Amino acid sequence: MAAVNGGLMEKRSRVELFEQIRRARRFDAGVSIRELAKRFDTHRRTVREALASPVPPARKPVVRACPVLDR
C-alpha cells in the first residue's frame, strides 16, 4: 500500500488510507468506488471497507503448523 508521489513510493498506514478514501468520497460524492480504487491504487473491496467503517479491521493472527521437531 504505497502512494505514488512524484514518482517516489511513500508508505502509508491503512488508517491513513481509510481516512483519505473517506475524505475523497465526502468532497466528491459522485465518484465511484472503481474510481476511488484507481485513485488510491487499492482494491475495490478495500474502498468498500473504508466507506463502511472509519477504522480498518484488525489483522487476523497467522495460524502456523507445529514444526516436526517440537512434536
How many domains is the chain partitioned into structurally?
1
| 15: Cα within 13 Å, side-chain hemisphere | 3
Segment 15-35 mean pLDDT: 94
Q: What is the pLDDT of residue 1?
A: 43
20 domain residue, yes or no: yes
Domain contains 13: yes
Return the percentage of the chain with pLDDT > 90, whole number: 56
**Which residue segment(s) compose the domain that 49 sits in?**
2-57
Answer yes or no: are the C-beta atoms of 43 and 50 closer than 8 Å.
Answer: no
With respect to residue 11, please indicate whether it lies within any of the assigned structural domains: yes
| 22: CATH | 1.10.10
Q: Check whether 69 has a pLDDT greater than 70.
A: yes
Any domain includes 67: no
Listed in sequence order, the DSSP H helices in 1-71 are 14-27, 33-40, 44-52
> What local confidence, expressed as pLDDT, does residue 65 receive?
85
In a domain, 23, yes or no: yes
CA–CA dist 21, 35 (Å, integer):
11
Give domain status of residue 66, yes or no.
Answer: no
Q: Is pLDDT above 70 for 7?
A: no
